[in-house]
Structure 1
Amino acid sequence: MSSQMQGEIAQLNIELEQTDDPREGYAKVQAKIRSYRQAGTRVPDDLALIEKRLVAECMAASQGRD
Structure 2
Amino acid sequence: MPARGSRQPLRATSPTGDQVDDSGSHTCFYEHNWYGGAEFKIGRWERWPSVPSWINDKTSSFKYC
- Which TM-score tier does this pair reach, normalised by the shorter chain? under 0.3
Decide which structure has greater helix share.
1
* TM-score (norm. length: structure 1): 0.25
TM-score by length of 2: 0.25
Larger Rg: 1
